[in-house]
Amino acid sequence: MTSDRSALDRQAGTGLAIEGPSYSPGFWLWHATLRWQREIAAVLAPLGLTHVQFVLLSCAWWLNDHGRIPNQLELASQAGTDVKMTSEVARKLEAKGLLERDTDPGDSRARRLRVTPEGTELALRAIQQVERADAAFFRPVTGSGTSVDAVTAMFRLLAESTA
């Protein structure tokens, strides 16, 4: 079967010699990501948050907690999300009473984001739940001797790489 696949690749002119999806790190990253997203969604559902709402609320909380009152562009940059989607989700969080969107005194088009006390309480509960879920999800790797810091560094390298 391997030779058939290689022959097909050579015939197509791709030069690929992959044995199949099971040998592709991207294939397994896709599967791991899907499983992780399902597990995080399951943890967040009882709290009334979607995954993207959680990410934006927790990033806004973190920025506020560190003395920053971000606009939507700064929040999108911190969270790694699209600016338009960030704006839409921020409006939903505002409607839930979790976030305040105030006009920026320096730019009437921009909105400064402050997490409400209710948003802070929910963000902290959600962060705790997600951290527990992450620990369980990554346990097969961290339990075999790889540190959480090493796993985090690997994903950060992949996320920030421009190559």
Per-residue pLDDT tens digits for 101-149? 999 898 999 999 999 999 999 999 999 999 999 999 999 999 999 999 9
Q: How far apart are CA 54 and CA 28, in angstroms?
A: 25
- Structure confidence at residue 11 (pLDDT): 45
Other CB atoms within a 10 A radius of the CB of residue 141 amount to 15
Per DSSP, 22 falls in state G
- Provide the CB-side half-sphere exposure for 36 (13 A, CA): 16
- Structure confidence at residue 1 (pLDDT): 46
CATH of 39-160, picked from 1.25.40.340, 1.10.8.420, 1.20.1530.20, 1.10.10.10, is 1.10.10.10
Per-residue pLDDT tens digits for 46-95? 999 999 999 999 999 999 999 999 999 999 999 999 999 999 999 999 99
